[in-house]
Amino acid sequence: MTDYLSTGSLPEEYRQLALTVRDFAQQVVAPVSAKHDADHSFPYEVVAGMADMGLFGLPFPEEFGGMGGDYFALCLALEELGKVDQSVAITLEAGVSLGAMPIYRFGNDDQRAEWLPQLTSGQALAGFGLTEPDAGSDAGGTRTTAVEDGDSWVINGSKQFITNSGTDITRLVTVTAVTGNNGGKKEISTILVPTSTPGFVAEPAYNKVGWNASDTHPLSFTDVRVPRENLLGERGRGYANFLRILDEGRIAIAALAVGAAQGCVDESVRYAGERQAFGQAIGRNQAIAFKIARMEARAHTARTAYYDAAALMLAGKPFKKQASIAKMVASEAAMDNARDATQIFGGNGFMNEYVVSRHYRDSKILEIGEGTTEVQLMLIARELGL
Ligand SMILES: Cc1cc2nc3c(=O)[nH]c(=O)nc-3n(C[C@H](O)[C@H](O)[C@H](O)COP(=O)(O)OP(=O)(O)OC[C@H]3O[C@@H](n4cnc5c(N)ncnc54)[C@H](O)[C@@H]3O)c2cc1C
């Protein structure tokens, strides 16, 4: 793996992957996107198609049923899907980087053997249960508890806004829980909770502004009893381990956001060339052309930011600051481009069946999920020693 990735000269295997996923996005995803968005239905057939292509196994070794690729390959796939349908892209992002990755990174041999083949094949999904009603940006505010009782952990508490946590193929949620107290400091650990465990409930799905075809639920845990072996990673390292997962996840979210930003450019170029007003295509007006040029510049800048963060990560170098920068600029690019594209589409931009209107509703969450813009600024400032 190179420690420099250029937008102008992608290695051939990456380019081929991106083209394959682009084709899938256009042929399979795009035709059903508006319907799933309108119905708020989970796109099972699309998820099965992504599973058949091996997308859920992209960054995992073949011994765990993966494709033997890397995290950058996942990012390229997310960018292509994000152009067309953010709900589908976040389903893959959360399935891989939040669902399977914690087990790959921190699981023992038995946990990896039990869960990874199901997750990397896309036959099953796992959720990442960090956020709680009183623990969002301040995720260390976890109140959910896991108490040792004989050979078990007994979990009580709740989580909110958990992606992929209530589908028909969801089999697992990995949760952070307070497992003790070290000199007044909470000891937070992560525990694997199979969704079939009595006392685990995925409450009714949220009615969201966007990402309508993505699955998001509040979760409740009432005396949920799981074996002691379900502790994931070292006891007391749960919060730190989840933060590591989020650092990586920010690069993936940035890639998805770049897809959204680029999708808005592509749609706008097409529409501005076709739509006539005052006797000419609206794109002939410099006001429109410049707007689209600025959108392209935002998408390109954000892409270079996530390529850079991914290259550092794959080279084993520190990448925390670059991941936060990429996540912040890419999510802002997506939101800004969605707003501009909607303007270019005029009244059609306000109609739900248009891709740009979906991006307008969908992009806002990119500035919130996996760490808000303010949290990214906190992390960047901290890396600067402030
Ligand atoms: C659709 C969706 C899917 C999600 N999926 C998952 C998931 O799968 N797993 C999971 O664990 N979580 C998930 N989340 C939760 C998401 O990560 C949180 O919503 C996010 O981290 C923000 O937390 P919060 O909502 O509690 O906002 P808060 O933390 O309450 O923040 C409210 C506002 O205050 C600002 N703020 C807070 N502290 C500071 C500060 N110190 N300085 C300046 N500003 C500050 C924030 O930036 C924000 O603007 C999801 C959320 C949504 C909406």
Q: Which of 68, 91, 125 is the last residue of a domain?
A: 125
In a domain, 2, yes or no: no
In a domain, 46, yes or no: yes
358 vs 124: CA distance, rounded Å = 27
E strand intervals along the chain? 125-129, 145-149, 152-163, 170-182, 185-194, 200-202, 216-227, 231-232, 276-277, 280-281
In a domain, 6, yes or no: no
pLDDT (0 to 100) of residue 3: 59
Distance 86 CA to ligand 1 centre (A): 19
pLDDT (0 to 100) of residue 351: 96
Q: Is 374 in the pocket of ligand 1 (CB under 6 A)?
A: yes
The CB-side HSE value for 64 (13 A sphere, CA atoms) comes to 28
Residue labelled with tokens 């080279």: 315
- Within this chain, do residues 282 and 230 fall inside the same structural domain, yes or no? no
- Within this chain, do residues 247 and 230 fall inside the same structural domain, yes or no? no
Distance 215 CA to ligand 1 centre (A): 17
* Amino acid (one-letter) located at 217: H
Q: Is 366 in the pocket of ligand 1 (CB under 6 A)?
A: no
Residue whose CA is closest, atom 31 of ligand 1?
137
Distance 369 CA to ligand 1 centre (A): 6
Residue 133 CA: which ligand 1 atom is closest? 26
Beta bridge mates, 128? 174
**72-102: buried (b, 16+ CB within 10 Å) or exposed (e) per residue?**
bbbbbbbbbbbbbbbbbbbbbbbbbbbbbbb
Residue 131 CA: which ligand 1 atom is closest? 11
- Within this chain, do residues 43 and 134 fall inside the same structural domain, yes or no? no
pLDDT (0 to 100) of residue 184: 86
* CATH code where residue 368 lies: 1.20.140.10
335 vs 258: CA distance, rounded Å = 10
Q: Which of 188, 209, 236 is the last residue of a domain?
A: 236
Residue labelled with tokens 């892209």: 89
pLDDT single digits (tens) 41-60 = 999 999 999 999 999 999 99
Residue 211 CA: which ligand 1 atom is closest? 1
Residue 374 CA: which ligand 1 atom is closest? 47
**Helical packing angle, 44-53 and 86-93, nearest 10°:** 50
pLDDT (0 to 100) of residue 353: 86
Distance 92 CA to ligand 1 centre (A): 20
Low-confidence ranges of the chain (pLDDT < 50): 1
Residue 127 CA: which ligand 1 atom is closest? 8
pLDDT (0 to 100) of residue 28: 98
> Which tokens in the block code for residue 80?
């292509």
* CATH code where residue 88 lies: 1.10.540.10
pLDDT (0 to 100) of residue 98: 97
- Within this chain, do residues 155 and 256 fall inside the same structural domain, yes or no? no
pLDDT (0 to 100) of residue 7: 83
Mutate-to-test residue for ligand 1 from 37, 86, 131, highest number of ligand atoms within 8 A of CB: 131
Residue whose CA is closest, atom 30 of ligand 1?
136
Q: Which residues are catalytic?
A: 370
Q: Are strands 185-194 and 280-281 parallel, antiparallel or unpaired?
A: unpaired
Q: Which of 125, 159, 189 is the last residue of a domain?
A: 125
- Within this chain, do residues 183 and 265 fall inside the same structural domain, yes or no? no
Residue whose CA is closest, atom 44 of ligand 1?
374
- Within this chain, do residues 226 and 319 fall inside the same structural domain, yes or no? no
Q: Is 131 in the pocket of ligand 1 (CB under 6 A)?
A: yes
Q: State the burial class of residue 264 (Cβ atoms within 10 Å of its Cβ: 0-12, 13-18, 19+).
A: buried
pLDDT (0 to 100) of residue 183: 86
| Domain region containing 166 | 126-236
Q: Is 372 in the pocket of ligand 1 (CB under 6 A)?
A: yes
Q: State whether residue 149 is helix, strand or coil.
A: strand
Distance 324 CA to ligand 1 centre (A): 15
pLDDT (0 to 100) of residue 6: 83
In a domain, 250, yes or no: yes
**Helical packing angle, 71-84 and 286-314, nearest 10°:** 160
Q: Is 94 in the pocket of ligand 1 (CB under 6 A)?
A: yes
In a domain, 161, yes or no: yes
Q: Is 87 in the pocket of ligand 1 (CB under 6 A)?
A: no
Phi/psi of residue 176, nearest 5 degrees: -90, 140
296 vs 292: CA distance, rounded Å = 6
Distance 237 CA to ligand 1 centre (A): 21
Distance 354 CA to ligand 1 centre (A): 28
